[in-house]
């Protein structure tokens, strides 16, 4: 009987350890990311998209405390918030545009109506 209780206690301890060490999307995103690629969804003609892409390739995004800042050449060009909503990481601009985000340890993908933007940790 004592062995049974000991095994249950060990199992409970391992479960708590595993859950507390798990990094969810909200914890993975909290760092500075640099844009590595931008793909158009066809809403702009190619020459205009190339201008946008050239500008976006200089961008860095810093995520911390459920807020983000987007900067280029050291100047903040946009800010907003991020949160986990219904299991999906949502990044919201100051103007209220939502971007769904897929985040792993090495990659962040932001999905907007016009672009798919890939970022990697800086």
Domains in the chain: boundaries = 23-121
Element (H, E) at 98: strand 98-103
Annotate 21-61 with DSSP letters as a single string. H---HHHHS-SEEEEEEEEE-SSS-HHHHHHHHHHHTTEEE
Q: Distance (Å, rounded) from C-alpha 12 to C-alpha 85?
A: 28
Backbone φ and ψ of 107, nearest 5°: -150, 140
Would the pLDDT of 11 be above 60?
Answer: no
Tell me the per-residue pLDDT of 75-86, one tens digit each, with 9 for 90 and over.
999 999 998 888
pLDDT at 2: 52
Q: Distance (Å, rounded) from C-alpha 113 to C-alpha 97?
A: 9
pTM of the model: 0.74
Tell me the per-residue pLDDT of 42-93, one tens digit each, with 9 for 90 and over.
988 999 999 989 999 999 999 999 999 999 999 999 999 998 888 788 899 8
Location of structure tokens 């800010």: 79
Residue 12: pLDDT band (50, 70, 90) is very low
CATH of 23-121, one of 2.60.40.420, 3.40.50.150, 3.40.50.720, 2.40.128.270: 2.40.128.270
């Amino acid at each position: 009987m004592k062995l049974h209780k000991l095994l249950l206690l060990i199992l409970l301890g391992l479960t708590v350890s595993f859950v507390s060490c798990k990094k969810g999307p909200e914890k993975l995103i909290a760092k500075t990311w640099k844009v590595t690629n931008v793909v158009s969804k066809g809403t702009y003609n190619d020459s205009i998209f190339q201008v946008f892409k050239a500008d976006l390739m200089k961008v860095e995004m810093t995520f911390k405390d459920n807020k983000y800042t987007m900067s280029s050449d050291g100047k903040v060009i946009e800010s907003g918030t991020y949160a986990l909503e219904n299991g999906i990481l949502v990044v919201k601009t100051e103007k209220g545009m939502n971007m769904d985000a897929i985040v792993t340890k090495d990659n962040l993908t932001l999905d907007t109506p016009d672009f798919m933007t890939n970022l990697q940790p800086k």
